Amino acid sequence: MTTTPLKAIHQHCFNCIVDPQEGNGTKHEQTEACTSYQCALYELRPVTSAEKSRRNDEKLKAMSKEGLATYEANKAIKAAILKERINQPKATLGGVNHD
């Protein structure tokens, strides 16, 4: 089984900083609190959903009107594609529907 680059980065961070016995919080909370600013993987470290949301809010506030319009258009396209995929009938195997 192959490991994706993102999974390899997360595993590196978990091995580097997470202490399951003495650490404070979940592994994502512990890696979010990492202070190894010089690490090449620092900006890619796993963080909590709340931190991801905060970062996204900051990114959106910094966008120009044109950039924000593009972001919203791409978001709508992705939502439409997802909705279409959800509404597609399940694939059949050997003529039998496997719902």
How many angstroms separate the CA atoms of 11 and 46, rounded? 9
Q: What is the DSSP letter of 18?
A: -
pLDDT of residue 97: 57
Which has more pLDDT, 4 or 97? 4
Percent of the chain with pLDDT over 70: 89
Confidence of residue 38 (pLDDT cuts 50, 70, 90): very high
Closest CA to 17 of 5, 4, 35: 35
What digits encode the pLDDT tens for the residues 55-97?
788 888 898 999 889 988 988 998 888 888 888 776 655 555 5
How many angstroms separate the CA atoms of 92 and 99, rounded? 9
